[in-house]
Structure 1
Amino acid sequence: MNVIEAVMHMSLYAKAPHPVLVVDGVPLELWLKEADCSAVFGEDTVGGLVPAQGWLIDECDLQNAWYLLNPKNENSSTIVPIMICPDDMDMNCTVAVVEQLVDEETVSWARIGRAIDVRNGIVVSVEWVAGNKRAVFDKTAFSAAVDELRRLIEEVWS
């Protein structure tokens, strides 16, 4: 099982450390880069992405990103925006997504992709990355990491 946590991290284009999720100790944008996403995202694009949760400037898009990240009903699948372009900070630029599966005890990121169509802040079409970069998290630990990410954004970073 993978480990997920929320920490402060200095990403490639940020001017100061900011909250991010880390998978097995690897910041999310670097974890995505390890998945060899270049065919879908282009060369070196994912290394500069920042978390959708906390960086989206449209309040409705931001609330949607938080809502989608939180585990939903068991035996369900959700497309979750996890990283965005730091220049535009919206859902119209580069948006990295995961297909998030939830069961009784785990939250899994089954696939990684790039949003290719977004309507009203919701990803409706995805170009998936070839290969199988997966992560499986304990559901309780995942929820704790999401709660800590929110706390870091609201109390430390803001």
Structure 2
Amino acid sequence: MNLIEAKYFKTKFWSEEYPCIYIDGVRLDSIINQLKPDQDYLGLIPTLFSALNHDVEEMVVWERVLPKNGTAILPLLMCPDDVDLYCTLIVVEVLIKGNTVIWTRFGLDDSSDDDYVPRWLGTEVNWFENSPAYEFKLETYKAMLDVFSKERVKNKS
């Protein structure tokens, strides 16, 4: 089992600390950057963070973070410049199996559509060839999500 948690961190691209996803003690954007060192993915911020510019984008992210049936393609890391799901967007395939959450593979979303409701996200993905899979205890995964949920509530008030 892997350990997933949210810890506060400040990058050069964001003016204040915000929750970041860590897997086994390593920040997720660093993991992705190691998978694709020819790209610059350091500094991408979690889509679970309350910074998304549009409620409809936030809705799509939170609908997919814990899929009820089968798998879902979760928009996971986004560009800190645009803070939306239409720029650089790293996705992960999520599967719930009993009390385990499995992130099976990561990729760069290459979907496009004129529809403003981004339900089409994840329809076209350039999956990373060397992408690791991670397995988390459901309770630990939910604890990580709680950090982001509290941040969302705090920023909406």
- Percent same amino acid at aligned positions? 28
The residue aligned with 1:26 is 26
Distance in 2 separating the partners of 1:98 and 1:113: 6
**2:45 alignment partner, one of 20, 40, 50:** 50
Match of 1:65 in 2: 61
User: Cα offset for 1:150?
Assistant: 1.4
In the other structure, the counterpart of 1:81 is 75
Q: Judging changes above 3 Å, is the alpha-carbon distance between structure 1 residues 25 and 71 closer, same or farther for their aligned structure 2 residues? A: farther
Alignment of 1:4-23 (within 5 A): 4-23=4-23
**Runs of 4+ in structure 1 over 2 Å off:** 70-73, 152-158
Amino acid at match of 2:153: E
TM-score, L = length of structure 1 = 0.86
Q: Indicate yes or no: 2:107 matched with 1:113.
A: yes
- Find the aligned partners of 2:151 and 2:7 in 1 and give their Cα distance: 8
C-alpha change, 1:70 and 1:118, in structure 2 (3 Å) is farther
2:88 aligns with one of 94, 99, 108? 94
Question: Unaligned 5+ residue runs, structure 1?
Answer: none
User: Which residue does 1:130 correspond to in 2?
Assistant: 129
| Rounded Cα–Cα distance in structure 2 between residues aligned with 1:71 and 1:137 | 14
Closer/same/farther in 2, CA of residues 118 and 151 from structure 1, 3 Å limit: farther
> What is residue 104 of structure 1 aligned with on the other side?
98
Q: Retained in 2: the 8 A contact 1:81–1:97?
A: yes
Normalised to the residue count of structure 2, the TM-score between the two structures is 0.87
Q: CA deviation at 1:157?
A: 10
Which has a greater percent of helix?
1
Calculate the aligned-residue CA RMSD, in Å.
1.9
Residues 26 and 157 of structure 1: CA distance in aligned 2, closer, same or farther (over 3 Å): farther
Q: Separation in 2 of the partners of 1:27 and 1:12?
A: 15
Aligned partners of 2:145, 2:110: CA distance in 1, in Å?
Answer: 25
Matched residue count: 151
